[in-house]
Amino acid sequence: MSNPIQFWYDFSSPYGFLATARISEIEQQTGRAVTWHPYLMGALFKTTGRQPIINHPMIWEYAKQDVARTARKLKMDLLLPSEFPVATVGACRATYAIHETAGPDEAKRLAKALYRGYFQHNRNISVSSIILDIAEEHNFDRVTVEENMNSPQIKALLREVIQNAGDNNIFGSPFFLIDDEPFWGVDHIDDLILWGRDGSW
């Protein structure tokens, strides 16, 4: 059986959110499962030398136009939140807490809800109470999520995930690994599908 495709994303990345619209298509076209890996791009900026795109005004102006254009192409509702970017350590921890207690499908369901909350409903997912509100609205037990996301085990797990991202040269969102082949950006998903379906070129 072929290895799953890894999907790395940051909850503060609009392009990561847009990529979620194509995950099912990737799985159908390649015959491979996609595993979801939320991580913190900002934690790796010190080692890569990158800065948030918002720190580059000319590039940021282009990106805002491109994000809106890509959302229209994918027929997705997207708005840039009033607070952008935000720290998403809590969102990552909550997602991994669900992953460890309820499994990857439930973690993916929460991840989608958090992404929609931020990029469709302008809900600041850097705030723990808002993360827990969203979890509760999607039938996760609020108290359990809060306890688990703040546990030493989940904090250690997220640190391990970030280290793993750095070790595998993950530097953006969305970032896909199919076997050892990297594909960065929502604009390379068609290439990813072609590679997974027809093999390397």
Q: Where residue 1 falls among pLDDT bands split at 50, 70, 90?
A: low
The answer to whether 195 and 178 have CB atoms below 8 angstroms apart is yes
Which pLDDT value is given to residue 156?
A: 98
Half-sphere exposure of 100 (CA within 13 A, CB side): 18
Three-state secondary-structure class, residue 94: helix
pTM comes to 0.95
CA distance 142 to 157: 20
Candidates 127, 123, 40; CA nearest to 82 is: 123
Preceding amide of 4 cis, omega within 30: no
C-alpha distances in angstroms, 19 versus 64, 74, 112, 143?
Answer: 16, 9, 11, 30
Q: Tell me how far apart the terminal alpha carbons of the chain are, to the nearest angstrom.
A: 21
Nearest 5°: the CA angle 74, 77, 79 is 120
Q: How many domains does the chain have?
A: 1
Checking if the pLDDT of 77 tops 80, the result is yes
> In the numeric block, which tokens belong to residue 50?
């990158």
Instruction: Give residue 127's domain range.
Output: 5-198
In tens, the pLDDT along 109-166 reads 999 999 999 999 999 999 999 999 999 999 999 999 999 999 999 999 999 999 999 9
Q: What is the CATH number of the domain that holds 62?
A: 3.40.30.10
